[in-house]
Amino acid sequence: MMDRTAVGGWPSLTTALSDRTSPVRAFVTVRFGRWQDLQARYRESVGPLVVAGGRANPATIGSAFDWMVRFMTHPRPDLRLALRGARTPAVRVAVRELALMLGYREDPGTPRFEGPVSDTEIDHELLARACWSLALLTDVYRVGLVPGSPLAELGSSVTADRLLELAPLNAIDELRELRASAQSTLMPALAARRGAWALGPTFEGSRLMKADADLVAAGLLLELKTGLGSKRPDGTRRSSLEAATIMQLLGYVLLDFSDEFAIEAVGVYNARYAHLATWPLPDLLTELAGGPVDLEKERAGFRDLLAG
């Protein structure tokens, strides 16, 4: 998820892919647009809804869950994304106070490490409140301080405690359920992946087009989702693999021009359904392209498109 700020004349990857007239979207869909069978298999593989939606803002829940997973994979993940959303000295001081409460010292944490690493020992309610605050700050960095943001109501009298108080009780409960879902399904799968990990990774191509993924775990590029999915005629929910998600994963793969992250598989985890789906990258590209793919050549073509 990225903001709409242009880099080198290009909007963010997410914005470009949502624009049906964008040459970036055309590049992806013309080469890798055969995803109907993949979507059908995904729908068949997902079980029932596990964590229902509540009254909390769903977008903020999604962003807060991203932060939750970062803390579940490293005790001190990099906070700089949220710090970029601290637009005033008072908010920056409050965020640093919050970091101290979460066990940070002077450093803002690490975005890359050899994983897996043990889960955080922070109190669950404190972590949920902190992730909600970090999500609000991240949104400020990505789209600005929008009307109605709880951060706008704090004014200059902001402290770490007041940041923590922004999380509504229903959001804390929902995040607690999503964490439990991830603890039982996602984390055991990730624990088997030993090697180079990156939280919120940016790519070589991010210098030409803003893009940061959720997680790379020893070659697995993973997208985290908290969507409720669509309703069936009987009113029950079902999860689906949206074309936007597929294009987003492909965009990240293409932006890794020099294969810095050695991506060998991609996946989607929907916490509300406790469902993890992964696909070996070569097999996925072959299916979506309808034939063999020279990934190095495709990345070079994508780079030329963005640079030109």
How high is the pLDDT of residue 118?
Answer: 84
Percentage above 70 pLDDT, the chain? 97
What is the reported pTM?
0.93
Q: Tell me whether residue 148 is in a domain.
A: yes
Q: Tell me whether residue 196 is in a domain.
A: yes
Cα of first residue to Cα of last residue in the chain, in angstroms, is 24
Which residue has tokens 């999500």? 135
Number of domains in the chain: 1
Q: Which domain holds residue 128?
A: 13-307
Q: Tell me whether residue 3 is in a domain.
A: no
- The pLDDT tens digits for 203-249 are 999 999 999 999 999 999 999 999 999 999 998 999 999 999 999 99
Rg (CA), the chain: 19
Judging by beta carbons within 10 Å of its beta carbon (0-12, 13-18, 19+), is residue 294 exposed, middle or buried? exposed
Low-confidence ranges of the chain (pLDDT < 50): 1-5
Q: Tell me whether residue 103 is in a domain.
A: yes
Q: Tell me whether residue 293 is in a domain.
A: yes
CA–CA distance, 275 with 181 (Å, rounded to integer): 9
How high is the pLDDT of residue 6?
Answer: 54
Give the burial string for 172-207 (b: 16+ CB within 10 Å, else e). bebbbebbebbeebbeeebeebeebbbbbbbbebbe
CA–CA distance, 59 with 142 (Å, rounded to integer): 13
- The pLDDT tens digits for 107-129 are 899 999 999 998 889 999 999 99
How high is the pLDDT of residue 143?
Answer: 83
Q: Tell me whether residue 4 is in a domain.
A: no
CA–CA distance, 254 with 218 (Å, rounded to integer): 18
